[in-house]
Amino acid sequence: MMWLASVLSRVCMLCTCVSLVCVRAEGCLMISEVNSDNPKFDTHEFVELFHSSGRSTSLQGYTLVLYNGNGNKAYRVIDLTGHATDERGFFLIGSVELSPRPGVALPPNSIQNGPDAVALYGPGTELIEVGGHVQAEGLVDALVYATRRGAEVEGLASVLTPGSPPFLEDPSLFEEDESIQRCLETDHHWAFRVAPPTPGRANECVPPPPALARIEELRLGGLVTTRHVELSIATEMGAMVLLVFDGQTGVVRKTTEIPGSGQSDRLLSVPVDTSGTGSTSGAVALYEGKVAEVLSQSLMQPVDAFVFAADPQSFNATLLETLTPGRQPYTLTHGWEDGLSLSRCGVADWSRDSGTFMEAVSTPSLANHCPWPKICPHDIVFPDGTPAPTLPPWMGTDFLLNELNSDSPGAAENTEFIEIWHPSGTRASLEGVWLLLINGQTGRPYREISLSGHFTDANGYFLIGSDGLQPKPSIVLPANTVQNGPDAVALYRSKEPPSQQEGVPKLGLLDAMVYRASGNDRDTWMLTEALTPYQLPLLEDPQALPGDESISRCQGSPNTLSAFRVGPPTPMANNVCPHPPSPEGLAINEVGGALGPNHTQESMFVELIGPPQTSLDGLVVMVFEGRTREAIPLQGHIGDDGLFLLNHTSGTDAVVLCYGVGVCDLDSEILDSVIFTDVPLHLKNLPATTGHINPAIRAVADGHISLSRCSCCDHNSPSSWITSSPTPGLPNNCPSPTYSSAIHLCLEPQPHDGQDQAGSNHTNSNFEPVITDCSGEVAVYLEQQCNCGITALYLQGVNVSCVSGLMYLQGSIPALSEHQRALITHTTSSTHSCLRKGSLALPVGIVLGMVFLMLMGVALFIFLYRRKRPLDYSSMELSEHVEL
């Protein structure tokens, strides 16, 4: 029996695991609540995770990482493998004294108060170590938070939540304790709110109170007697009208008057047939006034509205933009013949948004009962579970107006558009951003669109335009909505609608375009003075190009009309911009903070060199580090000393100088570049002409080390660079004849292992004298012997010849310092490579040759001596007799 029980137990566990895998596929895991700052001793801190399936789910492979905002490094890493959410989908990590008891218990005061971050990484992600730098790879969810205003957390936010500001946990909001809780804001967009802590249970997500009047609940379909609309109406509101529209035709099908009562704020349930004509799309709108007054005004703006459709693309575009500007209809995912109850549950601060409604139990005349939404937050969950690497924005630049087409061909004008772009070139949240179309005659907005809840695409683009435009805009406007001018388009970041400001809105302005039509010379001083002072309005000239044209951004400066050019329309793609001629002699001169230890912000810089007073407008410097890149648009001129210094705050793996619209890519004109690590993946789009070097870090300078160009005009050449001490704003520290040493060497070719030495100019491995420049090989060999920083640049004054497989060097080698000269002298004086192979052959040959010459000399001497003194024949005869 024990054996059978064991088998059954294992079978049950297997079934449970299979079930959990299935459940996990139906939803997603998210950070639901964080309490990092408790009263007194921080003994009830916690992080609450929630799975949107609302069921028990395995946490196999997930990791929770706590990041410190000071240094952007992990201070605690929690591996969640082996754990699972409870039967409602919750999982707690927190203090041991927390109730209910957490699944992972931590000591008190373990979660820092901020500025910090909590990040959740999914299965398959390489485990992050304590002390590791913040990363976006494998990220599933994240919360960047602070407990005081003004805290510096931009480094964490730019990686974990790009485009979204850090959240502030206000400890003075409640008398006891408070936590940061995730709530559905609108549609699939989530937001965080401060509320009393709710560990292990649903968050308290209460919609904000309406300003005047609001639709709270609807009943669609089902029995006619059950259909109703529930309204919340403030005391000061007078008579109101509720209209029901047909979604396809835009025709009013039902009208209901709501008389003012002067009573206190109240919930009012109004019996209304919301089915209209029985079509699968429609709208309910609440207006202030009486029926005759409302119907007499065309496209009057409602106080609140709800729009629904089975197919959002079939909804009347004009009606949609009038009732809920910038928003999509509520999508009916199934039939509603039996009745469908919808309640306002989103915590968005704005009205006229159908995305704030969700299916819920009907509660007429009572507060809405909102279930926990079984959806994933689209702002951080990606289809593959891993977001693309985030890119820091240009020097703090926010969203920009990138392109405007206000006058498309034909009377319909159904291809107008406005393109917004985030300079990071990646997906970013448009939370708190507003787009205003402003009339030039009145100075007041004629269209105001809230972009909260929307996101740019993976390249940073967001499109608003007419229904005839391709690709399809994220926000569809009726045809001929964007006026031809003189008018303006302006972008704001604000909690309140910018139109509430008096006159032309100025507060929160991010970017603006003031433009006029062809032949229209009416005064635009009101707009230009407020939005783009002392600048002339732009002209979208229909005669500039055949077909259509648009006004396109070609530089990165906000509120600068000179940054735009007229070109062909390129919605959701790179703008077509003319490139100015390349300045002669402009190059990267020095890169500080690229190599060596002890990096500080003071040591990180890029220095350019060129003819004095050369204009830098239209140029971009891109600094690469790991998987991130920073694009810095240049302005101004090269100084009178021929140098231009640019400081930056990130580490450096590569620097590229180019003409480009905000970024250096394949469409850019590369002027100069230098890569000083192994080529990483993020450089794959750069041209093959990019110079790649791999300088060794040698003991040539104390403290900081920079990469310096010491050959003026050879762009993209590895032999132009050396490592030396930094000289920002001064001439580079290059090898000097003052520290030169004589060299007279004979070298044999070095054996190769099949791999080139990084940074050398390999040509002919046998040193054949034909077309071979041997200086690169010599530099590699000498550097291997002395480790003193020698490159091919050091051998420019050395005569190198290659004959019969041997290399002969004669001349002088300059150095940076006396120390480096001593290292070079010691190496060259102790190097005799020609003697290394068969080292006895040459000395033995020399000795034998000398002996042979001596013998030949003796023989010659004897021969000549005998010829001068002939022999005496009488003596010879006597001698012969003696011998006989």
DSSP characters over 189-228: EEEEEEES--TTS-----PPPPSSEEEEEEEESS-GGG-E
Q: How far apart are CA 157 and CA 853, in angstroms?
A: 86
pLDDT reported for residue 384: 34
Q: How far apart are CA 213 and CA 236, in angstroms?
A: 10
pLDDT reported for residue 603: 67
Q: Are strands 139-146 and 167-168 parallel, antiparallel or unpaired?
A: parallel
Q: How far apart are CA 843 and CA 372, in angstroms?
A: 92
Q: Are strands 29-35 and 179-186 parallel, antiparallel or unpaired?
A: antiparallel
CATH class entry, domain 394-567 = mainly beta
Q: In what order do the strands lie in the sheet with 104-106?
A: 104-106, 90-95, 46-51, 29-35, 179-186, 189-195
Tally the residues of the chain. 884
Mean pLDDT of all residues in 653-673: 72
The CA distances from residue 599 to 133, 395, 457, 595, 652, in Å, are 16, 20, 35, 8, 11
Radius of gyration of the chain (CA): 39
pLDDT reported for residue 446: 92
Least confident of 284-288, 653-657, 837-841: 837-841
pLDDT in tens, 451-507: 877 888 878 899 999 988 999 898 888 888 999 878 999 999 888 889 999 889 999
Q: What one-letter code names the amino acid at 576?
A: V
pLDDT reported for residue 112: 87
Q: How far apart are CA 608 and CA 647, in angstroms?
A: 11
Question: Which residues face 403 on adjacent strands?
Answer: 419, 552
Scan for tokens 């000083």, then name that residue: 676
Planar angle of CA 634, 636, 641, nearest 5 degrees: 110
For residue 762 the two structure tokens come to 């390999």
Mean pLDDT of all residues in 521-534: 78
Handedness of CA 438, 395, 496, 118 (dihedral sign): positive
Helix (H, G, I), strand (E, B) or coil at 468: coil
Q: Could you check whether the bond before residue 583 is cis, i.e. omega within 30 degrees of 0?
A: no
- Exposed, middle or buried: residue 109 (CB in 10 Å: 0-12, 13-18, 19+)? middle
Tell me what percent of the residues of the chain surpass a pLDDT of 90. Answer: 16
Structure letter (DSSP) for residue 616 = -
Q: In what order do the strands lie in the sheet with 445-450?
A: 445-450, 433-439, 487-493, 509-516, 538-539
Q: Are strands 509-516 and 798-803 parallel, antiparallel or unpaired?
A: unpaired
Query: From the CB of residue 479, how many other CB atoms can be counted at a distance below 10 Å?
Result: 20
Structural domain spans, the chain: 27-195, 213-359, 394-567, 587-724, 736-835, 844-883
How many angstroms from the chain centroid is the CA of residue 125?
A: 19
Q: Residues 284, 270: contact at Cβ < 8 Å? A: no
Q: Report whether pLDDT(520) > 90.
A: no
Of 735 and 297, the one with more pLDDT: 735
Average pLDDT, the chain: 76
Query: From the CB of residue 381, how many other CB atoms can be counted at a distance below 10 Å?
Result: 20
pLDDT reported for residue 521: 52
Q: First CA to last CA across the chain, in angstroms? A: 131
Q: How far apart are CA 703 and CA 733, in angstroms?
A: 15
Question: Do 27-195 and 394-567 share a fold?
Answer: yes
Q: Could you check whether the bond before residue 115 is cis, i.e. omega within 30 degrees of 0?
A: yes
Mean pLDDT of all residues in 302-320: 86
Q: Residues 377, 189: contact at Cβ < 8 Å? A: yes
Q: How far apart are CA 555 and CA 804, in angstroms?
A: 58
Strand segments, DSSP code E, in 509-571 are: 509-516, 538-539, 550-553, 564-567
Helix (H, G, I), strand (E, B) or coil at 703: coil
For residue 559 the two structure tokens come to 């509120």
Q: Report whether pLDDT(771) > 50.
A: no
Q: How far apart are CA 672 and CA 591, in angstroms?
A: 13
Of 745 and 715, the one with more pLDDT: 745
Q: Report whether pLDDT(748) > 80.
A: no
pLDDT reported for residue 482: 93
Of 491 and 862, the one with more pLDDT: 491
Which backbone phi and psi does 245 adopt, to 5 degrees?
-110, 150
Q: Does domain 27-195 have CATH number 1.10.3080.10?
A: no
Q: How far apart are CA 298 and CA 290, in angstroms?
A: 14
pLDDT reported for residue 668: 65
Of 835 and 102, the one with more pLDDT: 102
pLDDT reported for residue 834: 59
pLDDT in tens, 567-583: 899 999 988 887 666 67
Question: Which residues face 647 on adjacent strands?
Answer: 605
The CA distances from residue 411 to 338, 465, 810, in Å, are 45, 16, 80
pLDDT in tens, 41-79: 778 899 999 998 888 999 999 999 999 988 889 999 999
Mean pLDDT of all residues in 89-113: 90
Q: How far apart are CA 306 and CA 304, in angstroms?
A: 7
Q: Residues 776, 792: contact at Cβ < 8 Å? A: yes
User: pLDDT band at residue 781, thresholds of 50, 70 and 90?
Assistant: confident
Of 486 and 631, the one with more pLDDT: 486
Q: Residues 498, 432: contact at Cβ < 8 Å? A: no
Mean pLDDT of all residues in 551-558: 83
For residue 567 the two structure tokens come to 């070109």
Overall pTM > 0.85: no
